[in-house]
Amino acid sequence: MIYLDNASTTQMSTKALEVYKKYAIDDFYNPSAVYDKAVKINNDIHSAKEKVKSVLGAPYGEVIFTSTATEANNLAIFGCLKSNFKKVVLSSAEHASVYNVGKKLEERGINVEYCPLQQNGEIDYNELENILDENTNLISIIHVSNETGAINNLKKINEIRNRKCKNAIFHADGVQAFSKVNVNLSYFGVDMYTISSHKIFGPKGIACLYVNKGINLKPQIFGGGQEDNIRSGTENVPAIMAFMSAIDEIGDINKNYEYVNKLRNAFISNLKDTAVKINESKNNSPYILSLCFPGVNGETLVHMMEQNQIYISTGSACSSHRSGNRVLSAMSLPDNLVKGCVRISFSKHNTIDEVTFASKTLKDCYLKLVNTLR
């Protein structure tokens, strides 16, 4: 089996599983209890939050653990929403957990504007400058596209914000960026940032939102007041600590980046002599490769690859049951190309032999399908 859908989810590492079991079976205590064993668990959670802030390069804010990145993104936007908000700015590349929140805000009568994309998948920075103004209260723009791997320049976005609407809050969905590209929120100037465990070989069911000092969020879940009264509910301690174990296993981000870039280049090189279109920018994460094969259906290619025990996708798993691809269409790709798109997403654990075999198989599947349809 060759797994190349790592942007969808990853297999939990053995070490993370061991940590999960330790806190589920041995150190199972409720961190809100007052006896010593429970207090220790509460301290472990506090240490976990400090670790997250350290790896994000953001020592002064707070970390709120949530069940998923979807919840964290919803908390970021709905949590800072105020009755006097006039305008929210998102991008056309947002994950569904941000894009669909924007649609809900529109239903509430809030002016939501969507920054268009360049053909390479990045946001159009000139258009962003035109859209932002003194009425803008919140900006939420994805760091790395979950569809194409295009990397948006958060520092540049912050510079535009400071010129046009310096008091606006700036949130970024960092799910596909964290552990794969260098992240320094203090340098970027980001106020809130979302990361997720199951994208980095940790367990599903745990994510977190970093919130900068001075940003006051309103809770969206009410109860016992856990997570600094922002997100009530007994903390998922085994998942939190396994998440931290996965962070410890990230390793050298730059070294991993170079290795995965070699995998990506090898994959592309084996698709020569086909009509494939590669959706990329000069500033692209090598972990995600978006390919469009004209004249065929991408989902058919996915199932043909599955028959060879090679697992890829047509795009975001959260949008797999919908026709078309909103992000690719926003890049001005014609419908016939969008229909034939597949997404390959690598990890540091993939090998060159796997990538070579998978890319050659994909080429064979495509040529076979084209010949069948003639």
List the catalytic residues: 318
Strand partners of residue 63: 210
CB 86, CB 72: distance < 8 Å: no
- Classify residue 249 as exposed, middle or buried by CB count within 10 Å of its CB (0-12, 13-18, 19+): middle
* Buried-state track 166-177, b at ≥16 Cβ within 10 A, e below 16: eebbbbbbbbbb
Question: Alpha helices, DSSP H only, in 270-314?
Answer: 298-307
Judging by beta carbons within 10 Å of its beta carbon (0-12, 13-18, 19+), is residue 204 exposed, middle or buried? middle
Number of other residues whose CB lies within 10 A of the CB of residue 140: 24
CB-CB contact of 206 with 227 (8 Å) = no
Contact 178, 136 (CB under 8 A): no
CA distance 322 to 301: 17
What's the one-letter identity of residue 252? D
Number of C-beta neighbours around residue 200 at 10 A: 21
